[in-house]
Every structure is written in structure tokens, then in C-alpha cells.
Amino acid sequence: MAKVSFREQVLRAREDAIVSSVNRLLAEKGFDLMTVDEVAADVGIAKASLYKHFTSKEELAAAAMIRILERALAFLEERATQSAEAPAIEQLKAVARWTMQVQLAGEMPSLPAQNSSLRAALTTNKAYIDRLMEVSDRLGSWITAAQEAGALNPALPPEVILYTLFARACDPVLGLLKLTGQYSDEQIIDLLLGTCFDGLAKR
Amino acid sequence: MAKVSFREQVLRAREDAIVSSVNRLLAEKGFDLMTVDEVAADVGIAKASLYKHFTSKEELAAAAMIRILERALAFLEERATQSAEAPAIEQLKAVARWTMQVQLAGEMPSLPAQNSSLRAALTTNKAYIDRLMEVSDRLGSWITAAQEAGALNPALPPEVILYTLFARACDPVLGLLKLTGQYSDEQIIDLLLGTCFDGLAKR
DNA sequence: GTCTATATCAAGATAGAC
DNA sequence: GTCTATCTTGATATAGAC
């Protein structure tokens, strides 16, 4: 009994290591340029062993997306409890800040929106869809609350705001600014939080 | 003499057709998923003939980028002459609107920022770099002018604004909103122009 | 479940005739 | 310069031994 549990723990740990590698490689090179050989080499196991855990490259990517969504959910949960009194707009800014921090840390997997085999794998992956909906729901309630509180522009359809927040989580502008070497990570985040919520125009 | 000129015209027309196909396919599927076979089939010539005109897939992409940059330059030139009296902020909004229209028309080639062989080909392509700098310079002068006029946030470094405008030209939010089918193209553009310049927060 | 070795195939690029 | 046919490579995925 204990033996089986231990085996499962080892299995989990290995799969965890795989997903970590995939996550980092997806953040670095993107789905199309990431190869399964690379993943296997990075984890330190044979490619065939990888395929015992995950049946395809798309499944690997889906696992990484599920992990990042779960990290996001954990963050949302923490904010909802420990900072429950904070106004909705501050919750949303905190989330946006968190996504930018993840991206600057090289831990935000970025998938091409166009790849159809990948899209098919994701849209039929219940675990992924469930978490995506959960994140969307939680953000959605903060969005409408912030609009009602007069903090977010009420003329914007909530889904426009939601999509925009998702998009800013993988905004290429972060990478461009980091490349210039002129700004610290915190400066970059503050600048982009500003352009996102306050716009380019003077207030 | 006339014969040579005619031949060259035919050649140009063919290359133009090639670049048009590449441009559309890049907008549809992106660089990694676009295949040279596809391009050849779309143009209606053999793949080997393609390689007589362009020496690599990267060169094809570069040609498409050069074309879109030249279209952008033509637009900038037109605004600078025919609407020379318009305030800089309006010029910038007009440019942003134009890029979104191009994107919604399925004519905005989108290249992955991560592909290194492509990056190498682009950064060593003088024609591409020249046009990119030209576009950046023209936008840059409008940006500083708009900041001095108090229309754009003067606390933002100009390059942050420049990068943001470039990024919005291929913002995935446009495609997401179009997918919902709830908005007309003009509505989408107005919404995103609003979030870009005025931000998500209420003014 | 892990490995080595290999099948399979798609895609970039080229040879050589016309 | 265009074509057909082919080369070559790299990457997903699998077979089969242990």
C-alpha cells in the first residue's frame, strides 16, 4: 500500500519535472520551435519514456497550460481571501501585475493562436477548458464589479476587458522593453500596467 | 530593349503575385505553419520556380514584411501631406486604425518573435531594416509632438509608445472579438482604439 | 516505465531536362 | 525561368528488448 503510494509519488514528480521543462521551453521558443527531443533531453529521460506519460506534443503543451492556469487560480484564490476587502480594480491590477511578472520570469508559456492541431487538442481537453472558464469567471466578476464601482470604463463590454487582460499576459512589448536593457523589471511592469489601464493618452 | 523591359514587367508581376500569396498566408497561418509548397500551389507555379525568385522561406517572409512596411509608409506619407494640419495624436490614431483595418482584412503578416533563423534573416536584410527605421522615425516624431502638445502621456518613454503601437497592429484581441461574431469590424476597431489610447479604466 | 533503435513523414531545398 | 523528380534533414511517434 505504502509502496504503491511511493511509486505514484515518484511518477508525479517525474511528470512534474516534464511539465516544468515544457513550460520553460514554451516560454522560451514557443510551441512550433519546441521539439520533443529537446524536452526529453532537458528532463534527462528518453523520448520514448516521455510518450508513456503524454501521448503527443499537444498534450505536453496542454499540461503546461493547465499548470499555469492552476497557478493563476491559486493567485486569484489568495487575493480573494487575503485581500478580500480590496476594490475590484485593484484585484485586476494585481492579476495583471502577476501575469507580467510570470512572463518576465520566463515562465509564461505562449502558444500560437493559429495552430489548428493544437487548438483542437486544447478545446477538447476538459481539464484545460474547465480551468480556463474558472479563471474567466473569477475575472469576469471583478470586471463587472469594477465597472459598477466606476473604476473601469462601463462603456466597454466585459469580454473586451477580459480578452485584453489575457492578451497583456503575453504582450510582446514586455520582451521588447527588456531587450533594450534600459528598464528594470519593475519599471517595465509599471509602465505597461499604466498603458493598459490608463492608456497612452494623457489623463 | 522594349522586349527586356516587358520581360522584367512580367517578372515583377510574378514576384508580386508571390509576395501577395505569402502575405496572405502569413496573416492566416503564421510563418511556422506556412509551407513553401503551399505558397507555390497558391501562386500556381512549381516550388523550384519559387526558389529562383527567393532563395529561402525567410526571404519570402522578409519580402512580405517589406511590402507591408511600404504600404504603411505610403499611408504615413499620405497623412503627412493631405492631413498635414491634423494634430499628431490624430495622426497616430489614424495609423493605429489603419493597422487594425489591415489586420481585420487578413492582410497583416504576423511573424513569431522567437524564431531565430527568421530574426537573423530580417536583421541582416537592409531593405527591411531601412523601412522599419523609416516607419519608426515618422511615428517617433508624431509621438514626441503629441507628448509636447499634451495629448499623449508625457511620462511614458516614447519607445514604449512606439512598441505599443507596433504590438497593437497584431493584437490577438482583434481576432478574438471577431470570432465572437458580436461586433462589426468598425465596432471592434473603435473599441480597441479606445482601450489603447484611453485605457481600460474610466476617465 | 525505461531505454536504444527505427519507422514514418513532412517540408526546405536542389538537380537536371527543356 | 519553368517544370518534374529527387535529395536531405529534422521531428513526431513507435517497436521491442529489458
Q: How many helices (H) and strands (E) does chain A have?
A: 10, 0
As a rounded value in angstroms, the CA-to-C1' distance for A37 and D9 is 15
- Taking the C-alpha atoms of residue B20 and residue A89, their distance in angstroms, rounded to an integer, is 45
Pick the CATH number of B2-198 from 3.40.50.720, 1.10.357.10, 3.30.1360.230, 1.10.3720.10: 1.10.357.10
Counting every residue written for chain A, the total comes to 203
Q: For B58-109, how does the pLDDT look when each residue is reduced to its tens digit (9 = 90+)?
A: 999 999 999 999 999 999 999 999 999 999 999 999 999 999 999 999 999 9
- The amino acid that residue B11 corresponds to is L
**Domain range list for chain A:** 2-198
pLDDT at A197 over 60: yes
The pLDDT of residue A72 is: 98
Quote the pLDDT of residue A3. Answer: 57
Quick one: pLDDT at residue B27?
97
Q: What is the percent of chain B where pLDDT is above 90?
A: 92
Cβ separation of B167 and A171 shorter than 8 Å? yes
Reported as a pLDDT band with limits 50, 70 and 90, residue A188 is very high
pLDDT given for residue B177 in this prediction: 98
Rounded Cα–Cα distance for residues B191 and A37 (Å):
43
Cβ contacts of A76 within 8 Å, gap of 6 or more: A95, A135, A138, A139
Element holding A122 (H helix, E strand): helix A116-123
Nearest-Cα distance to chain B for A199, in Å, is 4
> CA(B117)–C1'(C14) in Å?
20
Q: What integer pLDDT is reported at residue A2 of this predicted model?
A: 52
Using the CB atom, is residue A53 less than 7 Å from strand C?
Answer: yes
pLDDT tens string A8-28 = 888 899 999 999 999 999 999
The closest alpha carbon to B160, from B146, B137, B174, B143, belongs to B143
pLDDT band of residue B6 (cuts 50, 70, 90) is: confident
Query: A86-118: per-residue pLDDT in tens?
Result: 999 999 999 999 999 999 999 999 999 888 999
| DSSP designation for A124 | T
Is any Cβ of chain A less than 8 angstroms from the Cβ of B145? no
Q: Which residue is nearest to nucleotide D11 (CA to C1')?
A: A35
Q: Is A148 on the interface with B (CB under 8 A)?
A: no
- Any residues with CB less than 8 A from the CB of A165 and at least 6 apart, and which? A92, A95, A96, A99, A139, A196
Average pLDDT over residues A156-185: 98
Angle (CA) B128-B134-B147 rounded to 5° is 140
Digit-coded pLDDT (tens) for A34-85: 999 999 999 999 999 999 999 999 999 999 999 999 999 999 999 999 999 9
Q: What is the DSSP string of B145-163?
A: HHHHTTSB-TTS-HHHHHH
